[in-house]
């Protein structure tokens, strides 16, 4: 409902009387609101970290770093301390980096460098020192030197030289049951000779003192020749020819005939001699009666007690003793002395079938091709 003229006038007069009082109240409220708004806008989060005292997070209106440090209860910055300010998503970060002294020792001298945290490389640069990749650095060049640590730089140099050196002859022993009857005998089949090498050495010097000498190169001028000796080895074959594995003293497969307790004799010939079959004579070739054991047959021969093993051998020769029955088999040796030492040994002779022998023909031909007295 519309107000009457009288009511409107009454209201106007009341407001006129009350206006000054309400105006003052409104002005005060506005001022307070302004102060609150200003304070709120000035408030911000700050994290203060001190390398000597951990970290603290606070809310402050202070913009002055010194005032913020004081509010956080952090000691003021020293003469060489450093303050690093960083804005982060969580607010402002004030890092107080306290200065400390690092001793740098090099070239017989020690100097002190003040830092708030730097790498070994930077501190050496600050100290006016250079170095090479060969020099020793502690800590390493890229490591930050912590408070309480010191730097040591050691100069490294090298000296290289060559020398002529004698290479003493070595002794190689070949076990064989060839010495079945003279087990303490050592039979030299090759006399050795010293060699001569040119050797290059490198000396390592650290801070003027030699710490090591290393061989870095060697060139043979005269090759060393080993002394080769034969010594007794129980059940080690005289012959180098191969065949089926030996199990319980006998070939594991392919045995066509077995002749036990047979009389074996021994003989030798010149290095170029050939048997009646035309095959060159060497360890592993034997004389037989070809009417009993055909030429070319692969045999395995061992003493009845198993302590002498002639090994795998080929029937390659014959002789009067075999043809007359005075001996069953004659074993070839490469020296007369060996044949005398091993004359007349009771043996068992295993004759392998042709199929089995054929499996090893190629390997044994290669052994015969490479055969020499030395090393047999």
Q: What is the pLDDT of residues 308-335, one digit of tens each?
A: 999 999 999 999 999 999 999 999 998 9
- Among candidates 348, 293, 183, 313, which has minimal Cα distance to 238? 313
Residue 30 lies in a domain: no
Alpha-carbon gap, residue 295 to 287, rounded angstroms: 9
Residue 274 lies in a domain: yes
Residue 22 lies in a domain: no
The answer to whether the CB of 342 falls within 8 A of the CB of 310 is no
Alpha-carbon gap, residue 109 to 210, rounded angstroms: 20
Q: What is the pLDDT of residue 9?
A: 52
Count how many Cα atoms sit within 13 Å of the Cα of residue 276 in the half-sphere of its side chain: 15
Q: What is the pLDDT of residue 38?
A: 42
Q: What is the pLDDT of residue 37?
A: 41
Are 254 and 347 within one domain?
A: yes
Burial of 140 (0-12, 13-18, 19+ CB in 10 A): exposed
Are 242 and 329 within one domain?
A: yes
Number of domains in the chain: 4
Q: What is the pLDDT of residue 272?
A: 87
Residue 37 lies in a domain: no
Are 353 and 272 within one domain?
A: yes
Q: What is the pLDDT of residue 12?
A: 52
Are 259 and 363 within one domain?
A: yes
Q: What is the pLDDT of residue 304?
A: 84
Are 92 and 104 within one domain?
A: no
Count how many Cα atoms sit within 13 Å of the Cα of residue 177 in the half-sphere of its side chain: 18
Indicate the SS3 state at residue 140.
coil
Are 184 and 269 within one domain?
A: no
Residue 114 lies in a domain: yes
Residues contacting 123, CB < 8 A, separation 6+:
102, 104, 113, 115, 145, 151
**% of the chain beyond a pLDDT of 70:** 88
3-state helix, strand, coil in the chain (%, to 5): 20, 40, 35
Residue 166 lies in a domain: yes
- Average pLDDT in the 132-139 region? 96
Are 364 and 305 within one domain?
A: yes
The answer to whether the CB of 152 falls within 8 A of the CB of 105 is yes
Token duo for residue 49:
């970290």
State pLDDT tens for residues 285-300.
999 999 999 999 999 9
Are 71 and 111 within one domain?
A: no
Q: What are phi and psi of 361, to 5 degrees?
A: -60, -50
β pairing state of 309-317 and 285-287: parallel
Alpha-carbon gap, residue 98 to 138, rounded angstroms: 22
* CATH number for the domain that contains residue 181: 2.20.230.10
Are 242 and 365 within one domain?
A: yes
Are 342 and 303 within one domain?
A: yes
Q: Is the pLDDT reported for residue 365 higher than 60?
A: yes
Indicate the SS3 state at residue 216.
strand
Q: What is the pLDDT of residue 344?
A: 93
Alpha-carbon gap, residue 245 to 239, rounded angstroms: 15
Are 117 and 182 within one domain?
A: no
Alpha-carbon gap, residue 297 to 98, rounded angstroms: 95
Burial annotation 322-346 (CB, 10 A radius, 16+ → b, else e) = beeeebbbbbbbbeeebbebbeebe
Are 141 and 222 within one domain?
A: no
Containing domain of residue 182, as a range? 162-200+215-230
Confidence label for 4 from pLDDT (cuts 50, 70 and 90): very low
State pLDDT tens for residues 176-234.
998 988 999 999 989 999 999 999 999 999 999 999 999 999 999 999 999 999 999 98
State pLDDT tens for residues 36-72.
444 446 788 999 999 888 889 999 998 898 899 889 8
Instruction: Give DSSP secondary structure letters for 19-68.
Output: HHHHHHHHHHHHHHHHHHHHHHHH-EEEEEEETTTEEEEEEE---SHHHH
Q: Is the pLDDT reported for residue 373 higher than 60?
A: no
- Among candidates 91, 88, 23, which has minimal Cα distance to 57? 91
Alpha-carbon gap, residue 235 to 249, rounded angstroms: 9
* CATH number for the domain that contains residue 242: 2.40.40.10
- The angle subtended at Cα 146 by Cα 207 and Cα 128, nearest 5°, is 45
């Amino acid at each position: 409902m519309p107000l009457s003229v009288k009511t409107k006038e009454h209201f106007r007069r009341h407001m006129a009387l009350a206006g000054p009082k309400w105006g003052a109240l409104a002005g005060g409220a506005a001022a307070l609101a302004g102060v609150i708004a200003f304070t709120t806008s000035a408030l911000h989060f700050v994290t203060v970290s001190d390398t000597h005292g951990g970290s603290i997070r606070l809310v402050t209106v202070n913009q002055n770093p010194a005032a913020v440090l004081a509010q956080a209860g952090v000691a003021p910055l020293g003469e060489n301390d450093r303050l690093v300010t960083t804005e982060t998503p969580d607010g402002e970060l004030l890092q107080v980096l306290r200065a400390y002294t690092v001793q740098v020792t090099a070239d017989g001298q020690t100097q002190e460098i003040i830092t708030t945290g730097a790498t070994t490389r930077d501190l050496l640069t600050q100290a006016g020192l250079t170095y090479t990749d060969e020099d020793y650095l502690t800590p390493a060049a890229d490591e930050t030197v912590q408070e309480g640590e010191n730097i040591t730089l050691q100069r490294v140099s090298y000296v290289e030289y060559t020398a002529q050196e004698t290479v003493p002859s070595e002794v190689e022993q070949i076990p064989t049951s060839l010495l079945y009857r003279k087990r303490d005998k050592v039979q030299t089949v090759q006399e050795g000779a010293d060699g001569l090498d040119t050797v290059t050495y490198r000396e390592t010097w650290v801070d003027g003192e030699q710490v090591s000498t290393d061989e870095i190169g060697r060139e043979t001028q005269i090759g060393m020749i080993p002394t080769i000796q034969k010594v007794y080895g129980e059940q080690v074959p005289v012959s180098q020819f191969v065949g089926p594995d030996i199990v319980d003293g006998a070939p594991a497969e392919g045995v066509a005939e077995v002749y036990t307790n047979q009389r074996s004799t021994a003989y030798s010939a010149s290095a170029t001699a050939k048997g009646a079959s035309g095959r060159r004579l060497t360890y592993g070739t034997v004389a037989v009666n070809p009417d009993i054991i055909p030429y070319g047959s692969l045999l395995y021969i061992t003493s009845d007690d198993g302590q002498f093993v002639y090994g795998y051998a080929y029937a390659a020769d014959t002789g009067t003793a075999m043809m007359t029955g005075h001996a069953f088999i004659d074993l070839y040796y490469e020296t007369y002395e060996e044949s005398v030492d091993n004359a007349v040994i009771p043996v068992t002779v295993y004759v392998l079938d042709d199929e089995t022998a054929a499996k090893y023909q190629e390997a044994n031909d290669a052994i015969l091709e490479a055969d020499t007295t030395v090393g047999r």
